[in-house]
Structure 1
Amino acid sequence: MDWKSHYQRWKDFVELDGQVSKQLIAMRENDLTEAFHGYLTFGTGGMRGILGPGTNRMNIYTVRKAAKGLALYLESQGEGFKYRGVAVAYDSRYMSKEFAVETARVLGVHGIPTYIFSSLRPTPELSFAVRHLGTAAGVMITASHNPPEYNGYKVYNEVGGQLPPVQADQVIQQVNSVEDELTINVMDQRDLEDRELLKWIDTKVDEAYLENLEDVVVDRKVIEEQTNDFTIVFTPLHGTANQLVKAGLSRAGFHHIHIVQEQAEADPEFPTVASPNPEEHQAFELAIEQGEKIEADILVGTDPDADRLGVAAINAEGKYQVLSGNQLGALMLDYLLSHQENLPENAVMLKTIVTSELGKAVAEHYDVETMNVLTGFKFIGEKIEEFHQNGSHEFIFGYEESYGYLIKDFARDKDAVQATVLAAEMAAYFKASGKTLFDALEDLYEHHGYYLEDLHSMKLEGLEGAKQIDEIMESFRQQPLQAVRDLSVLAVEDYKNGTRTELDSEKQVSIHLPKANVVKYILSEDCWCCLRPSGTEPKIKFYFGVKGATRQEAEARLEQLKNAVLERVTVLKK
């Protein structure tokens, strides 16, 4: 159908929700074209989109379609599986709780129980709840750190991880099999509750999560010795983490926890920030202002669904600076490994292919194996479950450059609550030695080399943009970089074809990871770059990683590598 046919179908639907109908009447043609041009894609990470009427928007009807697909998938998994039910959580965005209830209304028709938190909760607690309650699946209603007009729908499997490719494809197939999102049968909420097909969950799951969280603490003595003189400023950025982070830090033994009050309340408008993203310095402006007043030792901020953590500490100039995800991950890893006397022989650290090699260097120092996975924390969760099934390795730590960390695997997605507790303990430990986190980072650089990274995102919208992204990817596949100043290209890893090609010998070896539209160049001197189209936005991302004997050498190499790649891209776009 073209957009007009989709629009007419909605306009003529006599049972259309009243609020949706009012919004539909108020829409202009340009908006209608965007809203009804095709269907909102349910992909490997679920779906995410702008709120509003339309087949290409987040609304109760597209949510019902996703829930119907999930119900069909659960029914396909064998008799009795679906009766384990589905755990559902939601964040502070517009329509989040409504979408959670709509999910239950669809699942109830299929006799599938739904367990919904009675108020907003973080993504990692949803991951934990699936495991704790033993449900068949989980759903998290969130758009992470996207702007206020967005919401999203993420599906989790029975072990609490985001769906890996095989399961995701099966769910996608079922979602796509639903032909008419408007006529999906739903149950009344009161009937669901009376028949115990909708159960509200709350503090018992919170308490179980917090009990597990206590195991994240490595050395309580460190906290006990420093807590009276150690100050934390925390901002949940108008999201879900306020109560859980405060409780977790208190149980760990921290007494001086100062909340940024302007950002403490859940607010779908995120009024105090340009973007509720702890990767961005601007998201920390109020925390920095408060930190300077009370001379805080560490500033921590979580995104709205509390799966990402940003940390700011005092740098060499005496100013608060936000650590990168690569930097904080390497510090956490080193702290964990340096405080374990008897590491298992089969210990493994997991990171993504676009995460800094500093982590690998740290792990090697402690004789711990590093495994790389594709971008996306679901692949880390998938590996952890694989280890549990075959006993081949013991998970020690997992992280990705985009501010996602997991310390203990009672959750199977990145967990900013866990990471907050560990980051605070780590900062207290270094303070006892008269150091900040940036001082500790400098020690890592001096020992392992100066690893620096950068990310450049290029937004290319519409059909023409998608075509340009494809052309850029194919150009770098078919005509590899040869050299960048003093750096030679050693190998090309093409994750779409599943091959690694050594350029000097043209020898090819297989990459045993799922297929993905990613190209990575391995250069001399432990340098690399990687190209990857975004899975959720009309962007192509360019990742760069270098190493130098000094900071100056690393900075020069990073600039050279970025310029070489981006100059070629500029020519391709003309």
Structure 2
Amino acid sequence: MTAQIKFGTDGWRGAIAEDYTFDSVRRATQGFADYLKATYAPAEITRGIVIGGDRRFLSEQFAATAAEVLAGNDIPVHFCGGGIPTPTIAYAVKVRHALGAVNITASHNPPTDNGYKVRDPNGGAIDPAGLTQIEDHIPAAVSSCKQTAFKAGVSAGLIMEFDPAPAYVEQLQRLVNLEPIRQAGFKIMVDPMWGNGAGWLTRLLGGAKTEVFEVHSARNPIFPEMLRPEPIPPNVDAGLAAARQIHADVAAITDGDADRCGWGDENGVFVDQLRVYALLAMYLLDVRGERGPIVKTLSTTSMLDKLGQRFGVPVIHTGVGFKYVAPAMIKYDALIGGEESGGYAFRNHVPERDGLLSNLYLLDLMVRTGKTPTQLLDRLFDLVGGPHYYDRIDTRLPDLAFAAAARKRLDSALPATIGGKKIVDKVTMDGYKFVMEDGGWLLVRFSGTEPLIRVYTETMDQSAVQAILQDGLRLAGIAG
């Protein structure tokens, strides 16, 4: 039976050798090729497509297969191979004046998976309507795919190999002054989670007074010491322990494809991704004095709304995923855009998550203010009225019937209270968000990339966090 290819929150992902196969990659790429030819004029097609991938099992070979199919369709390919950070691939689209990108990566998924992301001429995620069109063009049989052997494509000038790193480094240096960070005398523990971010912060910041140490920097597609290369506990626990061992001033973490940012404070304690997003917004607004809209998904922090009010900038709410965030950033010329997963994008760059730049901005925040991470959080809480507490529970869905029953329960759910907090609104833009009288919220949402149901909350009442989450599980029929 031919595997169905569906683009979720951020691309198509599947289990290697089960539904993610070379033939499936060929079919996905043929669908993308036909979409490009149906969408753009022949003269625009000559701009070509950037192709790269991560360090997962067979990613370079899958990337080469995608290149062969595009070449077979007479679409030029700018090929940068494997081990390339997602934001570097996105920026290469801009530098090479390409029409978009194919990125072979499953980002933070388990080691059994690989994935396939497509990007637009801005280097950002293609919007949902475009993804639907690509799916509609995907052929049912691999026999419908056109293909040119890789070496033949190179000889014909259809596949052009290049190194995207130098241009990306120059861009980072334009966006943030690295020298003060290099001379700050920080002790930084970097955890690239065995992924594409390995070596980058050492390359950018090493060789001066600041010391940069790395763990999990080799290529190892089974991701030892973590369940998956997602920069949240417990996956970051080993890296944070290494940071504590050397008494690091900060832990800088990137996920498997380096588009997400994780952070640990001077005590080796994880700073959750909602607080990191608020810190980045505070840095741009309060420290750099910049102004512009903030784009946020409904699953991320309400601290952004409070910062928006304080600094007089609009806050745009979207569904979950950069397929919503990227178009909104372009439409509103946003200062920053991001989501709960730890992915943040910035103006004057590309509308794509960048875990490396996010970490550099956070380090620059430390330099400019002279504050430690915990002191920076204190400053943030002063601006937003106090600490905000966040947590999330992921539950694997046993089957489609369970998922359908959960959706039916949530469709009709109208609780008066959750975790003892009065509910004043229910938002169903992308999931089921219950807004509490005190400004806190609970979100129950089905993952767009894995068979998971996620239950999230943010509240200023730390003692209520677990009760809110448990009520969320009960609403979905998972507990109680």
Q: Please give the alpha-carbon distance, in whole angstroms, between the structure 2 residues aligned to 1:467 and 1:58.
A: 25
Tell whether 2:291 aligns with 1:357: no
Task: Look up the equivalent residue of 1:364 and give its one-letter code.
Answer: Q
Measured in 1, the distance between the counterparts of 2:317 and 2:201 equals 29
- 1:26-425 matched pairs, under 5 angstroms: 38-43=3-8, 45-52=10-17, 54=18, 57-80=19-42, 81-175=44-138, 178-182=139-143, 184-202=145-163, 205-217=164-176, 223=181, 227-250=183-206, 255-260=210-215, 263-285=216-238, 287-314=239-266, 319-341=267-289, 343-344=290-291, 347-387=292-332, 394-425=333-364
How far 1:77 sits from its partner (Å)? 1.5
Contact 2:10 2:322 in 1 (8 A): no
Describe the superposition over 1:56-84 as per-residue Cα deviations: whole angstroms up to 9, x where unpaired.
Answer: x1111000000100110011024323221
Q: Which of 423, 433, 456 does residue 489 from structure 1 map onto?
A: 423
C-alpha displacement of 1:181: 1.8
Match of 1:332, SS state, is helix
Q: Report the aligned-residue RMSD.
A: 2.4
TM-score normalised to structure 1 length:
0.78
Letter in 2 for 1:363: G
Larger radius of gyration: 1
Q: Does 1:473 align with 2:410?
A: yes
For this pair of structures, how many residues does the alignment match?
Answer: 478
Instruction: Give 3-state SS (helix, strand or coil) of 1:121's partner.
Output: coil
Counterpart Cα distance in 2 of 1:146 and 1:455: 17
- Counterpart of 2:381 in structure 1 is 445
Taking a change above 3 Å as real, the CA distance of residues 383 and 111 of structure 1, as seen in their structure-2 partners, is: same
Residue 459 in 1 paired to residue 389 in 2? Answer: no
Supply the AA of the counterpart residue of 1:273. Answer: M
Cα deviations across residues 234-273 of structure 1 (Å, max 9, x unaligned)? 121111112333333359x77321122xx21122122343
**Contact map agreement 2:188 2:212 (CA 8 A) in 1:** yes
Give 3-state SS (helix, strand or coil) of 1:291's partner.
Answer: helix
Identity %: 24
Cα distance change on mapping 1:403 and 1:185 into 2, 3 Å: same
CA contact (8 A) 2:409 2:475 kept: no
Contact 1:87 1:114 in 2 (8 A): yes
Quote the residue 1:13 is aligned against: none
1:18 is matched with none
CA deviations on 1:109-162 (whole Å, 9 max, x unpaired) are 211011111442011111111121111120110111222211101111111111
**C-alpha contact (below 8 Å) 1:228/1:256 kept by paired residues:** no
In structure 2, the CA distance between the partners of 1:291 and 1:45, relative to structure 1 (3 Å rule), is closer
- Given residue 148 of structure 2, which amino acid in structure 1 is its aligned partner? M
SS at match of 1:490: strand
Instruction: Give the AA of the match of 2:173.
Output: E
**Matched residue, 2:465:** 558
Q: Do 1:248 and 1:421's aligned partners in 2 also have CA atoms closer than 8 Å?
A: no
Q: What SS is found at the alignment partner of 2:35? A: helix
Q: For the residues of structure 1 that align with 2:162 and 2:451, how far apart are their CA atoms?
A: 37
**How far off its partner does 1:167 sit?**
0.9
In terms of fraction of residues, the more helix-rich structure is: 1
Q: Is the 8 A contact 2:63 2:104 kept in 1?
A: yes
Q: 1:436 aligns to what?
A: 372
Change (3 A) 1:58 1:327: same
Q: Distance in 2 between matches of 1:427 and 1:96?
A: 36
State the Cα distance separating 1:409 from its structure 2 match.
4.0
Q: Which amino acid aligns with 1:72?
A: D
Structure 2 CA distance for aligned equivalents of residues 66 and 250 of structure 1? 41
- The residue matched to 2:388 in structure 1 has which SS? strand
Rounded to whole Å, the distance in 2 between the matches of 1:228 and 1:445 is 25
1: distance between equivalents of 2:467 and 2:213? 42
TM-score, normalization: structure 2?
Answer: 0.93
- Matches of 1:454 and 1:228 in 2, distance apart? 33
Cα contact 1:278–1:284 (8 A) shared by 2: no
Q: C-alpha offsets along residues 341-390 of structure 1, whole Å, 9 cap, x if unaligned?
A: 4x44xx21111111111122123222222111111123221112213xxx
What secondary structure sits across from 1:375 in the alignment?
coil
Would you say the 8 A contact 1:90–1:141 is kept in 2?
yes
Aligned mates of 1:452, 1:289 — CA distance in 2 = 23
Q: Partners of 1:120 and 1:221 in 2: how far apart? A: 26
Q: Which consecutive unaligned segments of at least 5 residues does structure 2 have?
A: none
Classify the secondary structure of the residue corresponding to 2:193.
coil
Contact 1:352–1:399 (8 Å) recurs in 2 = yes
Amino acid at match of 1:120: G
Partners of 1:449 and 1:44 in 2: CA distance: 32
Q: Rate the CA distance shift 1:353–1:378 in 2: closer, same or farther, 3 A.
A: same
**Structure 1 residue 44 displacement after superposition:** 5.8
Following TM superposition, by how much is the alpha carbon of 1:298 offset from its aligned partner in structure 2, in angstroms? 0.6
- For the residue of structure 1 that corresponds to 2:122, the secondary structure is coil
Cα deviation, 1:395-451, whole Å, max 9, x if unaligned, reads 222222211112344222110010111122223345x3xx42123213332442232
